[in-house]
Amino acid sequence: MSAISISKYGCINLHGGRLPKYRGSSPMNWALINGDNNFTITIIQVDACVDTGDVLIEKTFPINDNDTIAELHKIANKIFPELLIKVLNQIEKKEY
């Protein structure tokens, strides 16, 4: 039995990148390295593979010319709790 299957509602993951483009580790860093104009934070349903579950919600933000990873993390850390509450409420209402 996997940890994913134990939970009545499954597992979710807060991921700092647009999927599937930025699967894996340090997606916000890669957005900066690749010179992207924006970055996306995503909450997904966890499945057996890495960052391949269904996207439950996502939000995209601009990357300004002088932004560092610290600024991107500050945005993500502010917005993730809001998105998480929204997703949990939708799960509770069985909207997923």
Between CA 71 and CA 62 the distance in angstroms is 11
CA pair distance 82, 91, nearest whole angstrom: 14
Per DSSP, what are the bridge partners of residue 57?
A: 43
How many domains, in total, are found in the chain? 1
Residue 59 C-alpha from the chain's centroid:
8
The domain in which residue 39 lies consists of 3-92
pLDDT, tens digit, for every residue of 22-46?
A: 999 999 999 999 999 999 999 999 9
92: amino acid identity, one letter: E
pLDDT reported for residue 4: 78
Asked whether 18 and 11 are in contact (CB, 8 A), the reply is no
The low-confidence residues of the chain, meaning pLDDT below 70, are 1, 95-96
CATH of the domain at 56: 3.40.50.170
